[in-house]
Amino acid sequence: MRGQVSKKLTPFLNNVNTAINEAKMNKVEFTPQIVRANLNKLAVFIGQGPELPYVCDRFFKVNNREIPVRVYHPAPAEHLPVILHFHGGGHMCGSVDLYDAVSRKIANICHCIVICVEYRLAPEFPYPAGIDDCEHALINYQQVLSNLNFNDSVYILGDSAGGAICTTLTMNSLKNSNIKIDKQILIYPSVDYTMTTNSIIENGTGFLLEKERINWYFKQYFHSDSLRQVTPKKASPLHGDFSKKMPETLVITAGCDPLRDEGLLYIKALKSVEVEVTHFQFNDMIHAYMLLDSIVKDECDKTYKMISDFIK
């Protein structure tokens, strides 16, 4: 069933849909530069986030390159749990800077250290480069916490493509004992690259994230000739192995999101192997509503509160 969107979002979506229609009329082609610039335009709606006593850019050294991260510590004198934060953006967009306010709010309300990872993006670095970066960060997170107080609780959190990364790392943890995940938090997660759920069709136009753009994102993500044997289905966490050894999970979905149904199917799959799952759906919200804090502040505040309650 097609979602019924909140009236609070109507003016914003009218402007977005006008711009989309004009681009189609003018035959504007998607490019990484255009889609990245468009996502960055949402920064005006996110706000600045709270001041924290410790915020620092650090990095992991991997062979001849670096994986940048930003570390947020809300109480440097305390030994706090650690959240690895993997931002969204279709595996092509997004950044630590764009999500800075989100990371700050998570660190503040959850009273946890947050490590936001600047993982590599497609098409310059296709699948599985970003996943490899995030897995390295998760396994070696203590390296960027030198001289900081923390405890041994480790959580992962991601929205959209960040949710795909979280669920992939959870799947990988079943075969790799070096991956420790105590809980995972998924916000409108992307977990199925086959694009076969009903909500892809029902909510595929008019709600910011459109079916045509999702398809284009995935083509960029899986474009490498060296990955011909890796099909979208094989890479999809929804179609991977499930086990009761998977961590307790919080899933937040949006009723007007084309990715809604795959999130619901992921919940069903977790429950089928007796993993404890907490789920809430904002029926009148769209994909990426967490980047629209100034428009839907009540819903964003409620989401942060649910994350905090789940962790605590």
Give me 244's structure tokens: 């009761």
Q: Which of 39-48, 286-295, 300-309 has the least mean pLDDT?
A: 39-48
Amino acid 223: pLDDT: 81
Please compute the mean of the pLDDT values over residues 235-254 and round it to a whole number.
Answer: 97
Q: How far apart are CA 18 and CA 49, in angstroms?
A: 30
pLDDT above 80 for 226: no
Tell me the pLDDT tens digit for each residue of 83-128.
Answer: 999 999 999 999 999 999 999 999 999 999 999 999 999 999 999 9
Residue spans of the domains in the chain: they are 7-311
Task: Please state, rounded to an integer, the average pLDDT across all residues of the chain.
Answer: 96
pLDDT in tens, 118-176: 999 999 999 999 999 999 999 999 999 999 999 999 999 999 999 999 999 999 999 99
| Closest listed residue to residue 275, CA positions, set 136, 177, 132, 173 | 173
pTM for the model stands at: 0.97
Dihedral (CA of 291, 296, 299, 302) sign: positive
Task: Tell the CATH superfamily of the 7-311 domain.
Answer: Alpha/Beta hydrolase fold, catalytic domain (3.40.50.1820)
